[in-house]
Structure 1
Amino acid sequence: MAATDAPPILKLGIDDALAGLVLSTEAQWNQTEDDWRVFLHEGVVFGIRDGARLVATAALLPYSGNNAWISMVLVSGKHRRRGLATRLVDACLQTARQNGLTSWLDATPDGAAVYGPLGFTPTLQLRRLKLVKPARAEAPPTSSATLDALRMRDRRATGFDRTALLSAFAQRYGSRIVAANGAIALVRDGRTARHIGPLFADDAAAALALVDAIVRSETSPLLLDAVASQGAFLDGLTSAGWTVERPFQRMRFGPATVTGEEMPFAVAGPEFG
């Protein structure tokens, strides 16, 4: 196919949330329609259509301090190996450069092999863990945790102001913020599993105790994206029955702009950072 025959890259709108959900569901990802609406409302989502059907996407979600997250890089099965993902990531990077943004992403091992030659620098590593729960639960732990407390801890750890993102999470049906003994986390719905994160704590013991309290009050499968360098936390999770599903490599394109004051124990998800 000649370059002039390549399907155009389009900017998607809020009405494309369901079409995006079809793509992420095909890939067996955990995003919901509400997640897609965050990207479409707060960021820029590029897409490629085959006729009326959306067949590829990539999103750029801006944060504070001239930073942005690249994610939702998806291509429908029959349209892979045509360079669509590369074109869409290039569109994200071009938009980021035009706006003076440093770009971040969390890549699978295969993705990291692609993004490295493009100029992305590896930073920390993540491990996605899953726990399948029986269909019974204790009463949720009492907690006076607030969105403002979570937002402040999130900024201290990431260096980003993510008020819009955390507010969108917290306002959803079924979401809750839980805190105890110097640890705080957000729990929200996903398409197939509930997600714990971000999670911050003074130490691994407090982080594990909070996860245990959350687990005992949940009935659905649970996902958690742990920071790999938090070894005691990871060991405690696997000892409690959590299984590692896959690794992610966090990568940065552009100059470092922020330094967190603490290391999180779990992040909001590879699509959000």
Structure 2
Amino acid sequence: MAAIEPIGILELGVDDAQAGLVLSTEAGWNQNEADWRFFLSRGVVFGVRDGIRLVATAALLPYSAGNAWISMVLVTADFRRRGIATKLVDACLDVAKRRGLTTWLDATPAGTSVYGPLGFIPTLQLRRLRLTKPQEANATRQLSAGHLEVLVVRDASAMGFDRSTLLSEFAARSGSRVASDAQAMALIRDGRTARHIGPLLADRTDQALALIDAIISSETGPWLIDAVHAHDEFLNGLVRSGWNIERPFQRMRFGPATVSPAQLPFAVAGPEFG
């Protein structure tokens, strides 16, 4: 395919989950097949094929109150620098415009330079951290089983809109759990390469850090968390505890502001989900 050749964009279906997983695995991302099936069944996922091979994707995941998330913008290595990603994002924006949705995404530094000219404006920043040091589970440290209904309510307050469908699907997966400790609670789920913690809600930094300590003491890692940069004491506490910052993300919005979060989460569900 030459750069000047037309790009044929297709809407993908659930049967494309494994092909999508090949793309995200090539990029080194943490999504598993269950994540792809959620996007393909609950969202709108566009793709580009070279023959039968899936070479690029972008997804639009509608939420409530006129909001949606764009993610899974992936192009295999030998098809990059041809404008494919931009065309796929444009396809997502076209759907969002027809549905009257404000769109959000969490961009890497390279992505920020692409999305800015499209009209996305920056909002908050995230930091992805990884903890890989093997740890022995501490059976004496007991975590309470959190209530999904409470997590959904607190998440809606933090995001400014309801994501009960997403959180319920996460919680129903094998290996997932909602954990709570004092006034902090978080959802823990499997990823392809690491367990992911988030969203994490708490009233205070010390509560959030105590919950993280209890989680990583209750089972072995490795772990990933996407922390909100504005909570600098929380971020610094993670680093002091051995977490390593892998990369930044810039949250960006296209369209009018539709939400007024009451309180920022300490960590989010992931850059692909918000």
Alignment of 1:43-58 (within 5 A): 43-58=43-58
Instruction: Quote how far apart the aligned CAs of 1:117 are.
Output: 1.0
Counterpart of 2:31?
Answer: 31
The answer for the alignment partner of 1:264 in structure 2 is 265
Match of residue 203 from structure 2: 202
One-letter amino acid matched to 1:60: L
Q: Is the 8 A contact 2:184 2:201 kept in 1?
A: yes
Q: How many pairs were matched up?
A: 272
2:115 and 2:145 map into 1 onto residues whose CA distance is 42
Q: Match for residue 40 of structure 2?
A: 40
1:177-220 superposed Cα distances (whole Å, 9 cap, x missing partner): 00111101001000000000000001000000000000111212
- What does residue range 53-68 of structure 1 map to in structure 2 within 5 Å? 53-68=53-68
Q: Return the offset for 1:174.
A: 0.6
Rounded Cα–Cα distance in structure 1 between residues aligned with 2:95 and 2:273? 18
- Give the Cα separation in 2 of the matches to 1:82 and 1:142: 49
8 Å CA contact 2:135, 2:216 repeated in 1: no
1:91-122 CA distance string (max 9 Å, x none): 00111001100010000011001111111010
In 1, are the aligned partners of 2:143 and 2:215 still within 8 Å (CA)? no
Task: For 2:35, give the aligned amino acid.
Answer: D
Paired letter, 2:207: A
Whole-angstrom distance in 2 between the partners of 1:221 and 1:69: 27
Instruction: Tell me by how many angstroms 1:135 deviates.
Output: 5.3
Q: Distance in 1 between matches of 2:216 and 2:97?
A: 42
User: 1:95 & 1:12 partners in 2: Cα distance?
Assistant: 14
Aligned AA for 1:268?
A
CA–CA distance in structure 2, aligned partners of residues 138 and 37 of structure 1 = 34
C-alpha deviation, 1:48, in angstroms: 0.3
**C-alpha distance in 2, partners of 1:220/1:237?**
15
AA aligned to 1:170 is A
1:172 maps to amino acid:
R
Could you tell me which amino acid in structure 1 is paired with residue 254 of structure 2?
F
Determine whether 1:184 maps to 2:168: no
CA contact (8 A) 2:146 2:180 kept: yes
Please state if 1:79 is matched with 2:79: yes
Residues 102-117 of structure 1: pairs in structure 2 closer than 5 A: 102-117=102-117
**Match of residue 12 from structure 1:** 12
Instruction: Indicate conservation of the 8 Å contact 2:143/2:181, yes or no.
Output: no
Other-structure match for 2:70: 70
1:154 and 1:2 map into 2 onto residues whose CA distance is: 43
Name the aligned partner's letter for residue 77 of structure 1: A
Alignment of 1:124-273 (within 5 A): 124-134=124-134, 136-139=136-139, 141-273=142-274
Residue segments in structure 1 that go unaligned for 5+ positions in a row: none
2:92 paired residue number: 92
Instruction: Confirm or deny: 8 A CA contact 2:19 2:54 kept in the other structure.
Output: yes
- Answer whether contact 2:103 2:253 (CA < 8 A) is retained: yes
Contact persistence 1:141–1:214 (CA under 8 A): no
Distance in 2 (alpha carbons) for counterparts of 1:17 and 1:157: 30
- Cα RMSD between the aligned structures? 1.1
Which of structure 1's runs of 4+ aligned residues deviate more than 4 A?
none
Match of 1:208, as an amino acid?
A: L
- Distance in 2, matches of 1:167 and 1:138, equals 28
CA contact (8 A) 1:133 1:218 kept: no
Is residue 126–residue 248 contact of structure 1 (8 Å, CA) maintained in 2? Answer: yes
Q: Does the 8 Å CA contact 1:7/1:49 hold for their aligned counterparts?
A: no
What is the CA–CA distance in structure 2 between the aligned matches of 1:220 and 1:227, rounded to whole Å?
21
TM-superposition CA deviations, 1:11-48 (whole Å, max 9, x none): 00000000000000000000000000110011000000
Structure 1 residue 162, shift from structure 2 partner: 0.6
Q: Secondary structure at the match of 1:184?
A: strand
Which range moved further: 26-35 or 142-151?
Answer: 142-151
Q: Could you state the TM-score of these two structures normalised by the residue count of structure 1?
A: 0.97
